[in-house]
Structure 1
Amino acid sequence: MPNKKIHITYMLKDTFFLYSQKILPQTLLSRLVGKLANCQQHHIKETLIKLAIKRFQINLDDALLQNIRDYKSFNDFFTRKLKPESRPINHDSKAIISPADGKITQAAKIDLGRVIQAKGKYFTVDALTAKTHTTNYTDFAVIYLAPKDYHRVHMPIDGTLTRMSYIPGKLFSVNELTAQNIDNLFAKNERLICYFDTDIGEIAVIFVGAMLVAGIETVWHKMVAPNYYNSIQHFDYQGQNIHFRKGDEIGLFNFGSTIITLFPENKIAFNDNLSEIKMGQKIAQIK
């Protein structure tokens, strides 16, 4: 009987969490969180940092700044830089590295233009990119960044930025529970798609917005999201020679979210048994 009660309690919590996301003002909440996260008042920012460290079991051993007083705001803490030696880059010329810390929830083939979201749920590449892609992608990886993770995003392979598309959308949570229950989740949420020309062809690195994500930034554009545009926006960088080496930082999340990477036709093979990963570690091999 106790186990049955616990199961029912969890079911009710899950149902409430999913329902609340549909009725809450997602954008307003995210912007309010953004303002609070950027507050530089000494007591507020340190209280928030201490709560986050305790709640999410955040380890500061790898952080460049280990004294919380040295952070200008909670956001400054959440997007903290790490000691360079804490994330060694796999420099094997055939290695594709993880662009972020997190959990690889999917790393697989794209089947007839469909991408796996969770068991029994799919979305299409066309829906994900709003048909802004020009390449036939056949492989993808989805990396979920939990609040405890390092929140900066890096290049998985040497490449030159060619264009970027911002697609406005919802701000559902991107955790496992939501992915299993909200159809077309990643194609519904706000997202920023960065296209790069590489030795294996065009790849896409996609920043997916989420509930309470206070912003998505890139090193070349700075703040892009959340919901600062009401329609799809395209940015052309052809001829600007914005080049990145494997492991170079390209952007960040101002809270946890998801990175999706798309790779061109039959150019890579993913490692087996991918799960928890650190930025810089090998996730795939160039064929």
Structure 2
Amino acid sequence: MTAKQRAFVWLQRVLPTLWLSQLAHLVTRSQRPWLKRRLITRFMTHFGISLEEARLRDADAYVSFNHFFTRALLANARPLDTAADALVSPVDGTVSEAGPIEEGRLIQAKGIRYSAADLLGVDTVGLGTFLGGEFATLYLSPSDYHRIHMPMDGRLVAMHFEPGRLFSVNPTTVAGIPGVFNRNERLALLFDTAVGPLALVLVGAIFVGSIETRWTGVVTPPHGQRAWKKTMETPLPVSKGEEIGRFNMGSTVILLSGAGAVEWIDSLVAGTSVRMGQRVGTLGGLQ
């Protein structure tokens, strides 16, 4: 790690990241024409973003920067692999790590592992169904599509919110702060599927104004709230490809499955770019 990268990691440890994220939440939702137009224009120029795939192709049609950032895409923009045995990517992003859940731990970066139980907000008994399973960590850069979709048919059975910090989750920070995903605030969505348990963990990050889902609405802010858990009285069915939530600014999704449920495709390795709807794994026992 270079001196510049170490300084970036150190700065995050001392900055008031919760306060800065609350400020970002206010600014990105401003509907003042001059402000939202300037933010959108500069963002599109800096990241080379085109609106060709967006439902709203006129930048002035967005009522705020956040409306633009979480923009909906045309129906055919992300083809969905409909094969019964296909596990699809829930997001557009880049693979940070993917592999087996070994001894209840996941790989964060080279030489850094962290607890799957802490990530999910469960005890060792609750983690049991994921032991010997697989995980994939998908990083969403600022330029990515920021809506989150269901990777296979399933039923939502529980949600666990864990408060925490709001460190960046870019590659430099992930390599420099051990346990960063367990330190940041996050929401775990737990599903029951035809191949066993499946979890999607939505990890907050600096300047992520909020995490929201179709069942809870906006989860954060307020930041720093107490942990909470909700078990669904009646599990809620969700079809593959359905939108389930979004990040209002960029972050990370971690997907976990039970033993024997998923086999990742050979190309799913660190640094690989994926798009929502494309096959990233094959489901055990389904064809």
Q: For 1:280, which of 271, 277, 282 is the aligned residue?
A: 277
Superposed CA deviations along residues 95-135 of structure 1, whole A, max 9, x for unmatched, are 00000000011111011111000011000111212326454
The 5-angstrom pairing of residues 1-287 of structure 1 reads 11-131=2-122, 133-137=126-130, 138-228=133-223, 230-239=225-234, 241-274=235-268, 275-287=272-284
Alignment partners' CA distance in 1, 2:142 and 2:128: 33
Gaps of 5+ in 2: none
Kept in 2, the 8 Å contact 1:207–1:216? The answer is yes
Alignment partners' CA distance in 2, 1:57 and 1:182: 30
Kept in 2, the 8 Å contact 1:213–1:226? The answer is no
Partner of 1:6: none
Alignment partners' CA distance in 1, 2:165 and 2:282: 34
TM-score (norm 1): 0.93
Alignment partners' CA distance in 1, 2:86 and 2:257: 13
Alignment partners' CA distance in 2, 1:230 and 1:150: 27
Superposed CA deviations along residues 157-180 of structure 1, whole A, max 9, x for unmatched, are 101111101000111100111111
Kept in 2, the 8 Å contact 1:27–1:226? The answer is no
The one-letter code matched in structure 2 to 1:45 is K
The one-letter code matched in structure 2 to 1:15 is R
Superposed CA deviations along residues 167-207 of structure 1, whole A, max 9, x for unmatched, are 00111100111111100111111000001111111211110
The one-letter code matched in structure 2 to 1:136 is T
Deviates more, 1:55-64 or 1:88-97: 55-64
Kept in 2, the 8 Å contact 1:218–1:250? The answer is yes
The Cα of 1:265 is off from its aligned counterpart by 1.2
The Cα of 1:228 is off from its aligned counterpart by 4.2
Helix, strand or coil at the partner of 1:32: helix
Kept in 2, the 8 Å contact 1:169–1:227? The answer is no
Gaps of 5+ in 1: 1-9
TM-score (norm 2): 0.93
Deviates more, 1:73-82 or 1:267-276: 267-276
What do you get for the CA RMSD once the two structures are aligned? Answer: 1.3
The one-letter code matched in structure 1 to 2:35 is I
The Cα of 1:218 is off from its aligned counterpart by 0.2
Alignment partners' CA distance in 2, 1:104 and 1:142: 6
Number of equivalent positions: 277
Helix, strand or coil at the partner of 1:84: coil
List structure 1 runs of 4+ shifted beyond 6 angstroms. none
Superposed CA deviations along residues 231-261 of structure 1, whole A, max 9, x for unmatched, are 210112131x421100000000000100001
The one-letter code matched in structure 2 to 1:107 is A
